[in-house]
Chains A and B, each alone.
Chain A
Amino acid sequence: MKGTYLGEFEEVVLLAVAIRAGDAYGAAVVNEIEQQMNRSVNLGAVHSALNRLQEKGLVRSEMGGISAERGGRRKRLYTVTNAGRRALEEVRELRSQMWEAIPKTAWS
């Protein structure tokens, strides 16, 4: 397994895959990110991130069933693996840990 360090964009993509659980393919992930973050992303960047995540073992892909909307062609669907879920949780924990550590006086 490659290094499990999660880049910022990778984290976002991973989260998007998790949100779209069961129906996460390239275009869906792009839509999700654009809606959530209100910024435009390139399809290439998303696929690149998905590819990296897959290499790190954080997502896995499989060809989905035939659907009418794509003219009978199949989509590649991504799902978050256990390792992916753990990675997300770690990031989140790390963040909250750091949030906890901020002294109250910092905001004044």
Chain B
Amino acid sequence: MSKSTASPPQLAQRLLRWFCAPHRLNELEDDLNELFHQRVETVGLRRARWRYCRDVLSLIRPFIIRRQPNEYPNPRTMDMLRNYLKIALRNLARNRVYSFINISGLAVGMAVAMLIGLWIYDELSFDRYFQNYNRIAKVMQTGTFEGEVFHSGYNPAPMGPELRNVYGENFSHVVMLSYDGNNDHILAYGDKKLTKTGSYMSAGAPDMLTLNMLSGTRAGLKDQNSILLSESTAEALFGETDPVGKMVKIDNRLDVKVTGVYEDFPYNTEYWDLKFIAPWDLYASSQEWVKRAQDNVEWGNNSWQVLVQIAPNTTFEAVSAKIKDIRLKHTPEVAFLKPKVYLQPMREWHLYTGWDKAGNSDGRIQYVWLFGIIGVFVLLLACINFMNLSTARSEKRAKEVGIRKAVGSVRSQLIAQFFSESLLVVAFAFVLSILLVLLVLPVFNEVADKQIGILWANPVFWLCGIGFSLVTGLIAGSYPAFYLSSFQAVKVLKGTFRVGRFASVPRQVLVVVQFTVSVTLIIGTIIVFRQIQHAKNRPVGYDRSGLITVAMNTPELYQHYNALRDALIQTGAAVDMSTSSTPTTNLNSRNGGFTWEGKDPALKASFGTVAVSHDFGKTVGWQFVQGRDLSRQFATDSSGIVLNQTAVRYMGLKDPVGKQIKWNDRSFRVVGVIKDMLMGSPFEPIYQTVYMLDYGWANVINIKLNPNRSASESLANIEGVFRKFNPGSPFDYKFTDQQYALKFAAEERIGKLASSFAILAILISCLGLFGLASFIAEQRTKEIGVRKVLGASVTNLWLLLSKDFVILVIIAFGISTFIARYFLNGWLQKYQYHTELAWWIFAVSGAGALLITLLTVSYQAIRAALVNPVKSLRSE
């Protein structure tokens, strides 16, 4: 019979099987076959096949494709959810170690990401407190000096009036600002004396900065003898009483009336430490040098900041273009600097201030990027863990899937089950991570120098957190949900089900990614700390121990130099005392205009200039390499000058002592050369500096404490002396070694944050590894048992189990070496005084990572290898 020989077209058959709903397939196939065989008899094979195809195509209809609705009883979703929840919780409770690793690892990752997210949010919202955020700018100058691009926010006194009078139509406000390194002033009301940071500003400032006035008005600065206090200052000075209208004394000499109280600026603003604002006119009229600079229209003295609010109808770029040649116009003699005036918008102040020598932006934004990337990676690590462990675990649950299917679960229910399970775990982790953040936030704020809180009321925060949790839960749950639920119950329950050979490949790739990130972070952290240590080990050229500085901010201190010094030494608390124009930790004055014999006339020489008193050398303990210290015994020393070694090299002098140096029209004679004193940044080369005698140009008093007495006792004695000589001011002092340590604050902050993140990253990776190792050991229990029976030793088995992971870590180490080398080299190049990328750092990091891996894996490997094979083989 031809029935057996003729067969319908296979392609059409397959198509039908694909689209047809299972419950109708048999019936339709039978129909088709019957017709086909009839037709083979009647019209021949070819036409029969052709008709078969046409019939199949004609069957592509919705009612054929539509799957049969579930004919089993449909429990309410809530019932099933309750069951899933119960099973999920039982599973978690049963595998405590896994649950712990899974949840805590993810929680730590999320907490890190949250902290970093909050930090970045804080950085990006810097200065947004000011309502005119988008219209305010700082007047900046840029130029090129000795081949290096510089940017400066300090401007000459006539800059304000010039902008106001000549370019006035471009600005809503032009505000002069006395804001530099030394904003500490003494505020006195009755007997209460406080040192507060404050500034003198033009009358438009309160409007421009949109001060939130708690009492008084923003017009309060219009009167020359007035002052606006911040809320905290007002409270400290006046307590409960209303401060408006009261008289306050600034620096023991200026009487001003309080005309208003404003809300303190938040910590994440440029002017957070501005505790009072006094009128610019008061400043200009009371400070001789400011008055001179303003009255004589001195364009050469760049000592003040100028803030502007641009007019509503213009842009920063347009105004910058208009004002760019102001400096050139008024001081044509500095044309060689190619000076340009421009506006730096407020939104760039915080993150984009800072330029490298080539003039490229080198600001804080790079740390925002750095930490953002670290955050993403740590989070990624945690997610990888979570996914690896959930997928590894889920294979163990294949039997459960089989049973569930056998008793009537349909696939969508299994999918729902696995998703709800992973979402539950993620929800636990999310809650835990918020608790962690709450716990860690105070420490984090301290290290990062921030005042960050959780943004409870911010919908974006919740959206991000919950959105991320959902995504993680769905991704991590998708593998078991879709893959496991597709198993055939029969196969699984019969035990013929096998995971493919390559099922573990994605897991291995993820482990490599994890360790690449971790090892890179470790190498990075080591380098950062090496760099800090490298700079800390630099010789400083003077003795910081027991050295304190006191700011000279009242007229009394200037008049009794010798009496004060004698009184201090007499108490026995101080070994010596001197004054200087700057503390030893800050080189704040650089000047040109120097000439000397043999100077290259083309060289525009610039020197750091420090004014000192005769006793400065003895106080700070500088060290001479040539010549001698300034001395009272030589009357000619009043025009004496001391150079540092860099200055001698810079000037190209063979035998410097006794040489004449002219600074503008003053003439000096070199009396000695000192070893370089590190006054500026510890990461930069030492600047050529000259030290000259000038008792009038003094800003700080340096005191060397008696090393044989306790500091607190000495300080009490010294305070007594200061009370006598300077009754108008509180006794505030700074330890030089603490000030010196502050120079490393930024780098140390980065180092500390980066190292904590690196430690967390490696911890998370290890948690994951631990989980995976134990999973694999468990999976291979039988294999290990058989091997043991056949004579494998514990060492063999340990090697067998550890080998896989060690290889992965070595691969990761190789990749991370390249990445770390590339990025850290770039980072180190930013510092002129920097450490080298030594090979041993990589070796140590690699060895460390390997060791940690081995420790993590070995625990599981040895435990598995020690199991009695009788036990592992007995079952079944």
Which residues of A line the B interface, CB within 8 A? Answer: 25-27, 30-31, 40, 42-45, 47-48, 51, 70, 73-76
Q: Which of chain A's residues have a CB closer than 8 A to the CB of B38?
A: 27, 31
Contacts of B59 in A (CB 8 A): 43-44, 47
- Give the top 7 A-B pairs by smallest Cβ distance, nearest first: A44-B58, A42-B58, A26-B31, A43-B55, A27-B31, A44-B59, A27-B34
* Interface contact B30-A42, CB-CB below 8 Å: no
Residue B60 CB within 8 A of the other chain: yes
Chain B residue numbers with a CB within 8 Å of A25 are 27, 31
Q: B35 in the interface, Cβ–Cβ < 8 Å?
A: yes
Given contact pairs A31-B38, A43-B32, A73-B30, a sample of 20 additional A-B residue pairs in the complex whose CB atoms are under 8 Å apart = A25-B31, A27-B31, A27-B32, A27-B34, A27-B35, A30-B31, A30-B35, A42-B55, A42-B58, A43-B28, A43-B31, A44-B60, A47-B31, A47-B59, A47-B64, A48-B61, A48-B63, A73-B27, A75-B30, A76-B27
C-alpha spacing A44/B20, complex, angstroms:
12
Residues of A within 8 A of B58 (CB): 42-45
Complex CA–CA separation, A26 to B61 (angstroms): 15
Contact B27 A44 (CB under 8 A): no
Smallest beta-carbon distance A58→chain B, Å: 16
Which residues of chain B have C-beta atoms less than 8 A from A75's C-beta?
27, 30
Closest A residue by C-beta to B36: A27
Given contacts A47-B64, A70-B30, A76-B27, contact A31 B57 (CB under 8 A): no
Please tell me if B26 contacts chain A, counting CB pairs below 8 Å.
yes
Contact in complex: A44, B30 (CB < 8 Å)? no
Majority secondary structure of chain B interface residues (helix, strand, loop or mixed): helix
Q: How many A-B Cβ pairs are below 8 Å?
A: 52
Residues of B within 8 A of A74 (CB): 26-27
Known: A40-B51, A44-B58, A45-B58. A51 touches B30 (CB 8 A): no
Q: Is the CB of A44 within 8 A of B55?
A: yes
For residue A33, give the distance in angstroms from its CB to the closest CB of chain B: 12
Q: Which of A26, A31, A40, A48 contacts B28 (CB 8 A)?
A: A26
* Closest A residue to B43 using CB positions: A40
Closest to A61 in B: B27
CB distance from B2 to the nearest CB of A (A): 16
Interface centre among A27, A30, A42, A70 (most CB of B within 10 A): A27
A55 to chain B, nearest CB (A): 9
Complex interface residues of chain B between 1 and 56 (CB less than 8 A to chain A): 26-28, 30-32, 34-35, 38, 51, 54-56
CA distance A31 to B34 in the complex (A): 10
Cα of A76 to Cα of B27 in the assembled complex, Å: 7
Residues of A within 8 A of B57 (CB): 44
CA distance A74 to B28 in the complex (A): 11
Q: Which residues of the other chain, B, contact A42 by a CB distance below 8 angstroms?
A: 54-55, 58
> Which chain A residues border B32 with CB–CB below 8 Å?
27, 43
CB-defined contacts of A40 to chain B, threshold 8 Å: 51
Tell me whether B26 and A73 are in contact (CB under 8 A). Answer: yes
Q: Given the complex, which residues of B lie within 8 Å of A48, measured CB to CB? A: 61, 63
By a CB distance below 8 angstroms, the chain A residues around B54 are 42
- State the CA gap A73–B33 with chains docked (Å): 13
Q: In the complex, what residues of A have CB within 8 A of residue B34's CB?
A: 27
23 contacts between A and B (CB under 8 A): A27-B31, A27-B32, A27-B38, A31-B38, A42-B55, A43-B28, A43-B31, A43-B35, A43-B55, A43-B59, A44-B55, A44-B56, A44-B57, A44-B64, A45-B58, A47-B59, A48-B61, A70-B30, A73-B26, A73-B30, A74-B26, A74-B27, A75-B27
Specify the chain B residue showing the minimal Cβ separation from A76: B27
Docked pose: A30 CA to B38 CA in angstroms: 11
Give Cα distance in the complex from A43 to B36, angstroms: 11
The CA-CA distance from A54 to B38 in the complex, in Å, is: 27
Distance of A76 Cα from B61 Cα, bound (Å): 18
